[in-house]
Amino acid sequence: MPDGRRTTRRNVLRTTAAAAGVGAVAGCTSYGGSDEETDDGGDGNASNDGDSDDGSSGPYSVTMEPVGTVEFDGVPETWVANNGSWADMGVALGREPPEAVWLPSRYHTQYYDEIPGVSPDKSGMVRLSDDGVDPEKFYEIDADVHVIDPNFLTGRWSDSWSMDDVEEVERVTGGPFFGNSIFSTGYAWHEDYPYLSLYEAFGKLAEVFQRTDRYEAFVDLHDEFQSTLDDVVPPEGERPAVAIMWAAGNDPDEFSPYLIGEGTSFKQWRDLQVRDAFAETDVRDFHETRGRVDYETLLDIDPEIIMFRGHEAQTREEFRNTLVANMESNDTAKQLTAVQNGDVYRGGPLYQGPITNLVVTERAAQQVYGVEEELFDRERVADIVAGDV
């Protein structure tokens, strides 16, 4: 830990008593949750809604579980984020990307190629996770706000992180922790406080950055998008069965199964109301059991469509020329209906924010339901990001 005499370069954080028994008092913060493991990453009210141009002239506060009520003296400039979900929210609000995320490789900025004039640069983004998380990285970045659920740190790395360490980072940098792990609902340490939906979390970050009018414009656009999806989704009996898995590498022989559940990671599949090929089988979700499925198991189930996560960095052609080509030459895999019909696809990212969600949901509608037209207005997204709301 750093020398106790080290001082901060700002006084961003002042905290007040938190809601629902989760308290925060300047540098002495307590958060709900217990210490257990898993893999990433409370509704309240802000005292000042702000405007689109970082317009608060005085202190304002934002409330979100598990961190409680956090008061800001001014709009944060530098920030770090848990993952690409929060990074995408910041971009949607017209902010520069965060200085750091856990794994920059899983923040897929190629999705912005769909949006004219929106091209965030992650080339200098710091990777926070490297066989654990070194507090020194937080001190070096010295961010104004850490958009990270503190329970993620103490839950995932309980051997090396405690709430004392979280509080020390806040004290030294002056930047509060403000986050709620939303990617998956499989966290044992997240049982004591509610998960947020994508747009609930997005609204909270908009309050932090004082750009709630951009958020409200995205809410309207998202509502229109959802109405469009209502016309796209076929009757229940006509929806194909979809198997979603994580494939490590281009020629694996077993995979991590994902059952469609809650959390932002599955939003596109819930919105498209797809049939989960694993849901009526004995296969259990990877988050529950860390189990695997092989080609023989898949052949017994024989899903009509197969989606593989873990390949978003590849183009469609690269994916088909590697993993799909290997399946077509595998004696068991080539018997799968999805392989024979050419219905093996990239399955979308683990982390998605408001822009990413529009892009990957439209792509999934094309893959699963054969939709050919664009389902959202790219120019409108660009306008909102630019502040033309």
131: pLDDT strictly greater than 70: yes
70, 75, 81, 84 alpha-carbon torsion, rounded to 10°: 120
Q: 234-385: same fold as 13-210?
A: yes
* DSSP secondary structure, 251-319, as one string: S-SEEEEE---SSGGGHHHHHTT-EETTTTSS---HHHH---EEHHHHHHH--SEEEEES-TTS-HHHH
Over residues 137-193, the pLDDT tens digits come to 999 999 999 999 999 999 988 888 999 999 999 999 999 999 999 988 878 889 899
Nearest to 121, CA basis, from 113, 109, 111, 129: 109
Pair type for strands 293-294 and 145-147: unpaired
Greatest CA separation for the chain: 67
pLDDT of 167 reads 97
From residue 199, alpha-carbon distances to 183, 219, 223, 281, 287 in Å are 12, 8, 11, 32, 24
Count CB neighbours of 328 within 10 A: 15
Query: Strands, E, within 158-277: which ranges?
Result: 241-246, 254-258, 275-276
In CATH, the architecture of 13-210 is 3-Layer(aba) Sandwich (3.40)
Angstrom distance (rounded) from CA 46 to CA 57: 15
Over residues 192-225, the pLDDT tens digits come to 999 999 999 999 999 999 999 999 999 999 999 9
Of 42-46, 161-165, 205-209, 294-298, the poorest mean pLDDT is in 42-46
Mean pLDDT of the 305-322 span: 96
The domains of the chain are located at: 13-210, 234-385
pLDDT of 158 reads 84
317: pLDDT strictly greater than 50: yes
Angle at 215 between CA 213 and CA 219, to 5 degrees: 115
Say what percent of the chain tops pLDDT 90. Answer: 75
289: pLDDT strictly greater than 80: no
Over residues 232-263, the pLDDT tens digits come to 999 999 999 999 999 999 999 999 998 998 88
Bridge-partner residues for 255, per DSSP? 293
Where is pLDDT greater, at 95 or 57? 95
* Confidence band for 287, pLDDT divided at 50, 70 and 90: low
In one letter, which amino acid is 71? E
Where is pLDDT greater, at 311 or 24? 311
Say what percent of the chain tops pLDDT 70. Answer: 84
Angstrom distance (rounded) from CA 151 to CA 157: 10
Nearest to 122, CA basis, from 135, 108, 137, 136: 108
Burial of 121 (0-12, 13-18, 19+ CB in 10 A): exposed
pLDDT of 285 reads 63
Over residues 325-346, the pLDDT tens digits come to 999 999 999 999 999 999 999 9
* Confidence band for 46, pLDDT divided at 50, 70 and 90: very low
Mean pLDDT of the 70-95 span: 97
108: pLDDT strictly greater than 50: yes
CATH homologous superfamily, domain 234-385? Nitrogenase molybdenum iron protein domain (3.40.50.1980)
Q: What values do phi and psi take at 86, rounded to 5? A: -70, -35
Over residues 111-129, the pLDDT tens digits come to 999 999 999 999 999 999 9
Mean pLDDT across the chain, nearest whole number?
A: 86
Over residues 269-285, the pLDDT tens digits come to 999 999 999 998 877 76
Nearest to 101, CA basis, from 88, 123, 82, 120: 82
How remote is the C-alpha of 151 from its chain's centroid? 16
From residue 290, alpha-carbon distances to 67, 283, 356, 385 in Å are 30, 11, 27, 39
* Confidence band for 40, pLDDT divided at 50, 70 and 90: very low
